[in-house]
Amino acid sequence: MSNLNYGEMKANSPVTDDPVPFSETQPYQESEPLKLPARPPSPSGYGAPPPSYQSSYGPPDAQFSQGPDFQPQQTIFIIPEQPTKEPDNLIFSIFTMLCCFFPLGIAALVFSIKTQVANNNGNVLSAQKNSRLSVIMARAALGFGIVFWILYIIILTV
């Protein structure tokens, strides 16, 4: 390929009588302009003067007040949460987890920790429920552990 300069390229370009409808030489003309709904001009639009504010120093009307309307401050009472005293059975749960039946011992430990959290938060109902469940799980783990230890001793002696 050879390098053509601008003059040669212009001479080699095809000549057309009709210009391209969207050329740079002619501005774009829309066949039908967009029809937008007519809106009234805004009073504080661009170029409009700002509204004038007038102050009245005359005698007060029934419509105007002398100053801001103050309301009395409401009294707020903050009552600190009282920790409850439900037994958490933590030591019993740890014992049954380590020495008796491990799965029920873990469940008893989880419920005893939940009891401690509910006691610290002052949630009486949750503390009672979790304390009851931790005792039930720990006793069940103790029962299963005793049965398994008895069966183990019987199997060793026979």
Residue with tokens 């009073």: 43
- Residue 122 zone, left/alpha/beta (φ > 0; ψ -120 to 50; rest): left
Distance CA 117, CA 111 (A): 10
Tokens encoding 136: 């039930």
- The mean pLDDT of 58-80, rounded to a whole number, is 67
The chain-wide mean pLDDT, for the chain, equals: 77
Query: What average pLDDT score do residues 12-36 get?
Result: 59
Distance of CA 75 to the CA centre of its chain: 31
Q: 3-state DSSP call for residue 146?
A: helix
DSSP 48: S
Q: Which of 107, 98, 99 is nearest to 138 (CA)?
A: 107
pLDDT-based confidence at residue 29 (cuts at 50, 70, 90): low
pLDDT-derived band at 64, boundaries 50, 70, 90: low
* CA neighbor of 131 nearest in space, from 95, 81, 92: 92
pLDDT over 70 percentage in the chain: 54
Provide the percentage of residues in the chain whose pLDDT is more than 90.
40
Give the global pTM.
0.48
The three-point CA angle 74-66-61 to 5° equals 130
Quick one: average pLDDT of 30-37? 60
Of residues 86 and 50, more confidently modeled: 86
Does residue 67 surpass a pLDDT of 70? no
Q: In the prediction, which pLDDT does 1 show?
A: 52
CA torsion angle 117 120 125 131 (round to 10): 50
